[in-house]
Amino acid sequence: MSKFHNKQFPGESVEYREKQDELLQAESDLRRNLESVAELRRSLPFGGKLKEDYLYQKIDLDSSDKDKVKQTRFSELFVNGKDSIIIYSFMFAPDAEKPCPMCTSLPDGLNGNIPHVQQRVNFVVVAKAPIQKIKSWAEQRGWNNFRLLSSGNNSYNKDYFTETEDANQLPALNVFRKTKDGIYHFYNTELLYTAYDEGQSAGHVDLIWPLWNLFDFTPEGRGTN
């Protein structure tokens, strides 16, 4: 019998239960740490004011004129009275035929959740590629719930570190907050820019990535490719 609950699975050995209880303690500690980290994140003061009211290209996939390229300002991304916005930038360079496969996996997993997310906050996906390329890829993947933008004609990617100095694209997430005094940067998944142990990955957006979290439950784990 577990030290933590009154459940006992069919056929489990004493060794299994001892190891499972050791794991449960670690999982309990992790849950506590995750809550603590989330609280620290929520208590961040605002960062700098938005550098400029960036102009993006967009296509409305859910409208009758979905082939028409339109433009939108950053300030226009805040809709329905919601003052926070999450911006996920994925690796799709202007001259690339396709985006990064791993960056594709994350929106694949999030697409169905976005209607629920947008009940609370704004959410957009941005890439440097031309908007027609992004549209074509989104249609292939069935991304029908995102607002998709191209930052090909502005400096957002470099300003908020989703692009390196030599124009390599990075898969980063940024959060901004609109106030009566303007729009402020609130958070970036800065783990991307830090060192990590051998055998690990940056892990900066793993919390919103269903794929890796599911693999972590299995004996095989995440694998190496």
Single-letter residue type at 71: Q
| Cβ(200)–Cβ(212) below 8 Å | no
- What does the DSSP 8-state code read for residue 3? S
Q: What's the whole-model pTM score? A: 0.91
Q: What is the DSSP string of 78-109?
A: --TT--EEEEEE----TT-SS--HHHHHHHHH
Q: What pLDDT digit, counting tens, does each position of 72-126 carry?
A: 999 999 998 899 999 999 999 999 999 999 889 999 999 999 999 999 999 999 9
What one-character DSSP code corresponds to residue 220?
A: T
55-188, CATH topology level = Glutaredoxin (3.40.30)
Place of tokens 């090909």: 152
How would you classify residue 64: left for phi > 0, otherwise alpha for psi between -120 and 50, otherwise beta?
alpha
Look at residue 223 in the predicted model and tell me its pLDDT.
81
The tens digit of pLDDT for each residue in 210-224 reads 888 888 889 999 887
Rg of the chain, C-alpha, whole Å: 20
Residue 108 tokens read as: 């694949």
CA–CA–CA angle 204, 177, 161 (5° rounding): 40
What is the four-CA torsion angle of 49, 50, 51, 56, rounded to 10 degrees?
-170
Query: For a pLDDT cut of 90, what percent of the chain falls above it?
Result: 77
Cα–Cα separations (whole angstroms), residue 215 to 16, 111, 210:
20, 19, 9
